[in-house]
Amino acid sequence: MKAFFAQISDLHLDGGERARGRAARVMEHLRALPRPVDALLVTGDIADNGEESEYEEAARLLDAPFPVLACPGNHDARPAYLKALLGEPADDKPVNRLHHVAGTAVLMCDATIPGRDEGQLDGDTLRWMDRTLTGLPPRTPALVAFHQPPMDLHHPLPDGSRLQRPEELAALLEAHPNVVAVLTGHAHTAAASTFAGRPLVVGPAVTWTLRMPWEGDRPADRDQPPGLAFHVLDEGNRLTTHFRVLP
């Protein structure tokens, strides 16, 4: 394998024991793997209320012997996220970061609209993505990660708050064939599809699992164990994903 990533999403840390315990179980599992991941990707909704204390708790829980790369979700607040989780000055600007891991460029992008559940890659973020991908060394594979999926997943809850103006993202991907996959969270259900000719993987949630319409009327299944995804990028730049739930 060329690169080996784990992905978790939607921790919704709120200062309570339930959210803390579920996140701790996932991190204990990852730290104990016989073969450590090259990096852990956390695709948003780290905090539930966007409070500094929630990000301070997240920083403790996510401490690991491997890189932990994050992007915000609609429940996150940029100033507190930057200050308490990343240790950077508080700011309201989109939080976009490039990471180089095991020969792979990982773009953790901010698709949040403050105060709203739906997402959007605004003009500044799209220009940053374009510049970043253009500036990569030739043949460098790239993963693009953000919170809200850019397409319907066939449930009214996530579909009512998905990424807006997905055609702008599709055009950017068309211009950058080295992007091998798009990774998101938000939907609280593990899902796999395609978008703009690339694999689209929606990471499962740590906090609770979405019941699909054929599984019942109540959307939140709080009895399901926390989930995570493992992504293997091979030498041919093909991504293979394995989903796990923890007992």
- What is the side-by-side order of every strand in the sheet holding 239-245? 68-71, 39-43, 3-8, 227-233, 239-245
- Tokens encoding 122: 């605004």
Q: In what order do the strands lie in the sheet with 198-202?
A: 97-101, 104-108, 142-145, 179-184, 198-202, 191-195
Compute mean pLDDT per 10 residues along the chain, 247 residues long, and list them: 95 98 98 98 98 98 98 98 97 97 98 97 98 96 98 96 98 98 98 98 98 95 97 97 95
CATH of the domain at 48: 3.60.21.10
Using the 8-state DSSP alphabet, how is residue 233 labeled? E
Owning domain of residue 121: 3-245
Tally of domains in the chain = 1
Amino acid letter for position 13: L
Q: pLDDT value at position 247?
A: 84
Q: How far is it, in rounded angstroms, from Cα 66 to Cα 155? A: 34
Angle 95-73-110 (CA atoms, 0-180°, nearest 5)? Answer: 30
Pairing mode, strands 227-233 and 39-43: unpaired
